[in-house]
């Protein structure tokens, strides 16, 4: 079934929608013509809900997937929201450039949904799902050169083991990497998800297999590596903080422990006073600059998981900027944001 055969609402179920709308739009009523940025627009399930809940707001929708961006733009027109919506074709770590290109200096709320969109999962030719046989592609942006097939064909055994262990938290990372190198030496490169499934199935002992497909952690690791997701996230969050108005909010949905750890660590920098524990008076410049809005992470309840199994691993966190960033933090965030760009080895294929 192609995308054209299905309605967008059928193939896309926004996760924790009510919570996201409350957190993103909750502080906008006191602002005139507020600006929301959805860094992971997808099929605009969350974005349309934000604009309906905040009728004076405008929304900048960023997505690296041109197909999803086109469908989201069409949906905005159908919903009568197009006049308050600006689509931007870019990866989210070009956040600052996206705002500059649209003459926007500061924003009031920024949302990120770090999961794969239903479009990417359900279109088998994209190769994200281990449930269907497909080419080993896994690119969110099909204009980049690095694919999962190239990773499996060209990375060393040591590098493959590293990404499976770090990004997939795979216990059998080393034997899987060893088997991949032996396979490509004897049989040629792996080219389909079925071949990768078969290989992993041969390596992982039945007594130690996780629930579901034993290759799911390997697929996850390859997707993160191909798209440079964790690096992009780490350099996007500082860009967002630098562009927030006072009272602005950052709202992030994560689906992987390393993503959530990155988000949690970033937010924690602004949630505590930066002074020794026994200091009797906290100077203004050392006061927290974030206020936590979620008291840890919000998770999907049993009802939502039953309706949308993809929500089972979600962790939703949000903070509000309570005062201007301290100068040292501003410089630190600026350095992190400018440390590298998306035109790195993930988009050019260099450095493999």
Give the annotated binding-site residues for S-adenosyl-L-methionine: 44-46, 63, 92, 113, 120
CA 197 to chain centre: 25
**Separation of alpha carbons 296 and 335, rounded Å:** 27
**Separation of alpha carbons 231 and 222, rounded Å:** 14
Structure tokens at 147: 């694919």
Structure tokens at 116: 């794969």
Whose CA is closest to 229, among 344, 86, 88?
344
Cβ neighbourhood burial of 257 (10 Å; 0-12, 13-18, 19+): exposed
Whose CA is closest to 325, among 206, 243, 230, 227?
243
**Separation of alpha carbons 165 and 159, rounded Å:** 10
Cβ neighbourhood burial of 321 (10 Å; 0-12, 13-18, 19+): buried
**Separation of alpha carbons 348 and 304, rounded Å:** 39
**Separation of alpha carbons 325 and 250, rounded Å:** 14
């Amino acid at each position: 079934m192609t995308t054209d055969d299905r309605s967008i609402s059928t193939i896309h179920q926004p996760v924790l929608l009510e919570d996201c709308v409350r957190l993103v739009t909750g502080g906008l009523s006191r602002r005139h013509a507020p600006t929301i940025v959805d860094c992971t627009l997808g099929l605009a399930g969350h974005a349309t809900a934000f604009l309906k809940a905040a009728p004076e707001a405008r929304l900048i929708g960023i997505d690296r997937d041109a197909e999803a961006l086109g469908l989201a733009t069409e949906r905005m027109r159908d919903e009568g929201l197009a006049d308050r919506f600006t689509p931007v074709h870019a990866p989210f770590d070009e956040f600052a450039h996206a705002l500059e290109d649209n003459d926007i200096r500061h924003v009031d709320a920024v949302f990120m949904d770090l999961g794969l969109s239903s479009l990417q999962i359900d279109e088998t030719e994209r190769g994200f799902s281990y449930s269907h046989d497909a080419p080993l592609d896994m690119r969110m942006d099909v204009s980049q050169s690095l694919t999962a097939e190239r990773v499996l064909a060209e990375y060393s055994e040591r590098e493959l083991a590293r990404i499976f262990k770090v990004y997939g938290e795979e216990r059998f990372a080393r034997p899987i990497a060893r088997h991949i190198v032996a396979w490509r030496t004897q049989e040629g490169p792996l080219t389909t998800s079925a071949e990768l499934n078969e290989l992993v199935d041969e390596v992982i002992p039945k007594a130690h297999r996780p629930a579901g497909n034993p290759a799911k952690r390997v697929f996850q690791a390859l997707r993160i590596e191909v798209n440079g997701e964790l690096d992009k996230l780490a350099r996007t969050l500082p860009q967002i903080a630098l562009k927030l108005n006072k009272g602005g909010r950052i709202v992030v949905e994560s689906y992987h422990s390393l993503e959530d750890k990155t988000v949690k660590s970033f937010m924690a920098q602004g949630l505590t006073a930066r002074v020794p524990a026994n200091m009797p008076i906290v100077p203004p410049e050392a006061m927290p600059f974030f206020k936590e809005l979620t008291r840890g992470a919000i998770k999907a309840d049993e009802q939502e998981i039953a309706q949308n199994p993809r929500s089972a691993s979600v962790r939703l966190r949000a903070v509000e900027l309570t005062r201007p960033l301290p100068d040292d933090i501003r410089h630190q965030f600026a350095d992190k944001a400018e440390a590298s760009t998306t035109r790195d080895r993930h988009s050019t294929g260099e450095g493999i």
